[in-house]
Structure 1
Amino acid sequence: MILTLVLVSALQTALIGGVAGYYLSESLYSEIGHRALMVAKTVAATPSVISGIQQRDSETLNGLASAMAATNEALFIVIGDHQAIRLAHPSPDRIGHSMADDDGDDGAEALKNGRGYVSRAVGNLGDTVRGKAPVFLPETGEIIGIVSVGYSVAQVGNTIQRYKFIFYGLVGLMLMVSLLIAVVIAGRFKREIFGLEPEEIARLFEERNATLQSVREGIIAVNREGIITTVNRAALETLGFDTGTSLVGRPIHEVLPDSDLLSVLKTGIPDFDREVWLRDRQMVVNRLPVRQGDDVIGVVASFRLRDELDQVSQQLTRIQQYADTLRSQTHEYSNKLHTIAGLIQIGAHDDALSLIGRETSDHQSLIHLLLEAVPDPVIAGCLLGKYNRAREMGLHLDIDAGSQMSDIPDALPRDQLVSVLGNLIDNALEATRQHAGEGGCVTLSMTDLGHELIFEVDDQGVGISSRERDRIFEKGVTSKADSGKEHGYGLYLVKQFLDRWGGSITVESLPAGGSRFTLYLPKIPEPRSAH
């Protein structure tokens, strides 16, 4: 790059210098010629010169010509009569001869047409630029003679060389400055491209394209203005676009109005493994800001459909949670068994039977309720797990005995319903634990009467103010005290599901304290736009 910039600068400088030098020379020759002509006209209009020509006084004319030549720094001034016969000349032996003897120019243009002109010729005084003017008789305007003023080409050349020396010095300085600028630009450019050579950049570009197309996940990148700059084939297929569709150059909010890429672009905070809905498809999305120094210059998002593998992964996570719950219950029941064994050993059989009865009656009544009210095993299993989770936290999950949830439409995704219901119960348990402490109670009631499925979750938390109710379903908004953990997504996902299914949710404060979340799901979905 340095070599190219220097060569281009040198070529431009040489071209400009050559053209400028040529026009400088031509301008000086023209200026000297014009000066010679003006001096010739001035001499021709001098009364003493007119008088000397009329009297053919060569001695007087020679004195006048020599003095005027010295005054105007001319090489010579030659004066002739109306036939171009010299009356004054620096060389006395030339007087009386025709002016045409020197250069073949007899001054006909001046003597016949009465016009001054400039010419260049080689005479006995060398190569000169000459200005010739006719001498008019003032009274009649008759042409009575001619004046020729000459300047040496060598004089002009010396002047040109003096100007060229200054000019070419300036050109050389410009070339050095161009070299310095080339070095600075090349250094800056190389730093911006991480020290890579052009062929390395080209290879990386091809590798990058091949990598993008080989990845099974969809990838979309936007610049700082939110314009799509990169999209691979998997992204088009995942989003349901035709593979020939060109999305590059289009604003992301036009292509994916539900995308959160612009919020990541604004905050610069990465977002990993988020479940979202894009173009009516549930996906798992990762978003990562692209930084240049401290500036966020774009965002790259990778996403995939929430397929069976993701579902299996979530099921394994739930199994792990259930295993942890069972482990804690095992420890709890082990303690209670030791207590029962101790009561038997000391002969307190009635107390032992009473303790056994209390333990079994709670589980039996819950299982009996779930079998009758919630025949769907997935939802029943979720509620049983949350019941055990509440006990582990020192709380109680009370399921209303009058609940009924058997008429669940087949089209309603069970895993999503479980996720929504689980989020509401988890939030209620957390709020109750923070405010009411151990022994607190969360109440759940369900009904499928009518055209809607209705779930009510009551907690014993601090409640939610009217101002907070408008924001709790926004992404990232949370009222939990341990803000260091990832919170603010549970209710956001709940709202997303409700918007897709056409459901709704209300939040109200209870007179005794706490909050009530009421979830309404139509049995026949009424889809609305996802957020």
Structure 2
Amino acid sequence: MEKRLTLQKEVYTYALIIGFIPLFITIWLLQLSVNQTLEKRIESEAIDIATQVSKNASVINTFSQILPDRNLLQTIANDLRERKGAHVVFLDMYGKALIDPYPPNYGLQIIGKEKGRALKGETYTTILEGDTGRAIRAFAPIMNTSDRQKGVVVVAFLEPDIKTILSQFYNSIAKAVPIAIILIITLSTMLSRSIKRRIFGMEPIEIATLLLEKESLLHSVTEAIIATDKDYNIKIANEAALSLFPNNTNIIGENLMQLIPEYKFDNIIKNKQPEYNRQLLINGEIFLANTSPMIMNNKHLGIVITLRNRTEVKDLAEELTGVKRIVDALRAKTHDFSNKLHVIYGLLEHGHYREAERYVDRLAQEKSLINSVVNNIQITSVRELLLGKASESEEKKVNLIIDSESFLFELPEVFDENSMIIVLGNLIDNAFEAVEKHPENSSVFVSIKQDEKKIELIVRDNGYPIPKENIEKIFEAGFTTKPNGSGFGLYNVKTQVNLAKGTISLTSDDYETTFIVTIPFPIFKKKAGEKCE
């Protein structure tokens, strides 16, 4: 896998590049500009000096003489050399130097071969490339009072002198560049750290992964989730939230307070505390709302609200706690009792008193038999569950056999009545569904036994066997072979058994399917321990 720079290093690197490239381009352009400007400035200064010298009264007077005063001319040249850095040479009308150049070996470079124009009275500048480098020269004629030319003054700036001026500029640049580099590095570091801090130290790939995970998580949950900005305008809503409103309603961008006007969200923001299980009426259905404020640096950014149908929550709670099992069992028992009353009423209404008497005697015998079995179950909810399942089995025409030796008098704290109802109710319901496909001679056997070490539950049916490939997966969450199954029935059974540190086994063949649940509960050791205390 290709190794990439971290975002902070990448930003830092690009910031340095963005900083250094303009810096170096600026230095390069500045150097070109300075060279050109300096050259023009020197040319201008040279021509000015040459013009001033040619009009100097002392120079004009000495050139008006037959033999000009060379000492005077040398003094003027030396003075200009010290004050202006210019090399000055005076020529007579034959082009011969009247004073020695300073320094002497620069004479040819200063005078050059272009003096002819100067001897004709022209003022001009030239640039000469010589052995010792470039020389910028200015020529000016020396005119007497009668406006007759008597000589020429040559003013030159040599490359060593130009380099001295440029070196001063480069020294200034050399001092400024390190400061600029330090500033670029410092600002690049600050920028990279600031960007890293603003995205909470995460890398782009981590942000992208987090976004995908958030989207997947948001749309995978069954609860409706809505997030708003600080003005309660909806910014995020999952599919479950969109389904709460009419199909043509696009709630993104809508104001949540207008969609749910009865809910006052200001109190949540004011208290800066979440609110749980608030009941709201939305499109004629009651939902439970959990609302949390989004606050960062003590600033209100918005809210997140989750909505769940109260009926679904109620059904799920009943399923998980085992209440539904008992309710269904009691409903079946009530329905069975009602049917039997209708039979007795019908017999009496038509005068079949003897048949009615025999029917009541038979019911009494059946009731006595069932009661004799379940009376050994001293846990009331478990006993009522078995009685209800007995009535349900009659409705479904299933032969429910409760082991006559069943016995249960106490449950451990880690496997209380709710756990028992969940485990026993699910196993019996699954057994009923299995034998429904095998109506002839269908039977379900239930045994509950308790001894000094454990509680053992056995549920056996002679329905269709469980395929071998499903036996390993049957206790997994979400696995189901039923068209409308949730896949959490046997998963809840396994969870309750595991919490009690018990075991559950399953065998299935062509003849029968058997579930055996064992819950460790050393009851007599417990009693002895209590007495010792």
TM-score in terms of structure 2 length? 0.48
TM-score in terms of structure 1 length? 0.48
